[in-house]
């Protein structure tokens, strides 16, 4: 997973909630985690402790999420943005089937094909996970929503938040099951 899908709180919560129930293996590198941390602290000054807590909770929720040993591959990879090579290197070492990112242009399919890795937006990826094991996924989404205490939100409000925050396909996909989430 790229940093840009772990940065937005709602997107991260949905993705990790689905991983927590074993719909997929969420993997990222310490480099990606540091990128998330750096950007959150930069954009929300004074939140260092809260950001560290959030990242610790994510690591604790998803055992074996951190990929290490990818660094030697970084300089051997070719991508349009050299600053994204660490993401592909971690995906290769982590045996990922897909890189989930909002920056799909940074990961052309011809660069990923030799490693049998595909690129998916977070919205596409979440919908695919919902289709794999619908009841498990819906239960995970419901449990996520019910964990929220400030403020509590209804299923309908969650759908609107998803649509407003870059996951319109997910919101549309969940609309038929609103009573279950």
Alpha-carbon distance of 156 to 173, in angstroms, equals 13
Q: What is the per-residue pLDDT across 129-141, written as a single tens digit (0 to 9) for each?
A: 999 999 999 999 9
Residue 148: pLDDT band with limits 50, 70, 90: confident
What pTM, to 2 d.p., does this model score?
0.92
User: What pLDDT sits at residue 125?
Assistant: 98
Alpha-carbon distance of 32 to 66, in angstroms, equals 9
pLDDT exceeds cutoff 90 at 152? no
């Amino acid at each position: 997973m790229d940093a840009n899908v772990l940065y937005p709180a709602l997107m991260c919560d949905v993705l990790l909630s689905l991983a927590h129930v074993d719909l997929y293996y969420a993997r990222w590198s310490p480099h990606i985690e540091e990128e998330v941390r750096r950007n959150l602290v930069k954009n929300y000054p004074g939140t260092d402790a809260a950001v560290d807590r959030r990242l610790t909770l994510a690591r604790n929720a998803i055992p074996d999420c951190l990929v290490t040993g990818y660094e030697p591959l970084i300089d051997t990879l070719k991508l349009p943005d050299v600053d994204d090579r660490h993401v592909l290197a971690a995906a290769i070492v982590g045996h990922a089937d897909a890189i989930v990112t909002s920056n799909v242009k940074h990961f052309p399919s011809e660069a990923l094909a030799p490693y049998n890795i595909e690129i998916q937006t977070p919205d596409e990826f979440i919908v695919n996970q919902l289709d794999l094991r619908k009841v498990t996924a819906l239960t995970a989404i419901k449990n996520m929503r019910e964990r929220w205490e400030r403020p509590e939100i209804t299923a309908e409000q969650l759908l609107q938040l998803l649509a407003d925050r870059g996951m319109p396909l997910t919101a549309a996909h969940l609309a038929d099951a609103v009573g279950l989430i």
